[in-house]
Structure 1
Amino acid sequence: MEFLETDHARLPVAKQLLHQLIQNNSTLPVVVLANKQDLEGAYCITDIHDALALSDIGDERKMFLIGTHVAEDGSEISSSMKDAKELIAQLVLETQ
């Protein structure tokens, strides 16, 4: 599928921007949602982890990489999306 190839090509830019964003705050939590995991040709979680060089981010920071997907018609919200929502709400509360 063409759009997945395009998304794959943009990972180096996403990596660069992510690392720039977090470089000045070693305690800022990082949550990466790897959406469209239900589609054929989607990068697996380990490939995304490697492509974004998440192991270089540091050990002191909370970091989460969550595989997600949403039904095409939007009729149901997957458990992974619900988990991601709860995690982000919890992290927001912790940083206030």
Structure 2
Amino acid sequence: MYLPRALAVIYVVDSADHSRFPLAKRHLHQLIQQDSLLPLLVLANKQDLANAYHITEIHDALALSEICVHRKLFLIGTHATMDGSEISSGIEDTREFLAQIISENSAVTV
């Protein structure tokens, strides 16, 4: 319902919850098939945990190569600390991605 007005899709997965990746993959593929060019940002959360999938494993588990042939894809590892004392570089990368997408969209619509 909201996808036609979206500038990008941000999809967050729990890198340490391996059992839910098949479901996450299915939902992502169903969602993203509606627009083949909409940029996709996948945030792989909980990268600080020892049992977290690495970025390449997440790419494979979500079969991103199947849905990202012609779209911009950003796969960023993130984590948060319990006390909020640290901001991961992934959060900064996410901010930059969003700024880029908004800037590109503004240039097209002006």
- TM norm. shorter chain > 0.5: yes
Report matched runs for 1:68-79 at 5 Å.
Answer: 68-79=78-89
Shift of 1:92: 3.2
SS across alignment from 1:10: helix
SS across alignment from 1:27: coil
Shift of 1:73: 1.1
Alpha-carbon distance in structure 1 between the residues aligned to 2:78 and 2:15: 18
Percent identity of the aligned residues?
60
| Alignment partner of 1:26 is 2:39 | no
Count of matched residue pairs:
93
Q: AA paired with 2:84?
A: G
Q: Match for residue 84 of structure 1?
A: 94
Report matched runs for 1:3-22 at 5 Å.
Answer: 7-22=17-32
Q: Match for residue 4 of structure 2?
A: none
Q: TM-score, normalised by structure 1?
A: 0.84
Alpha-carbon distance in structure 2 between the residues aligned to 1:19 and 1:5: 18
C-alpha RMSD over aligned residues: 2.0
- Alpha carbons of structure 1 residues 62 and 6: separation in structure 2 relative to 1, 3 Å: closer
Shift of 1:95: 3.3
User: Is there any run of 5+ residues in structure 2 with no aligned partner, and where?
Assistant: 1-13
| Alignment partner of 1:45 is 2:55 | yes
Shift of 1:6: 7.5
Q: AA paired with 1:41?
A: N
Alpha-carbon distance in structure 1 between the residues aligned to 2:54 and 2:80: 16
Alpha-carbon distance in structure 2 between the residues aligned to 1:39 and 1:6: 7
* More strand, by proportion: 2
Runs of 4+ in 1 over 3 A off after TM superposition: none
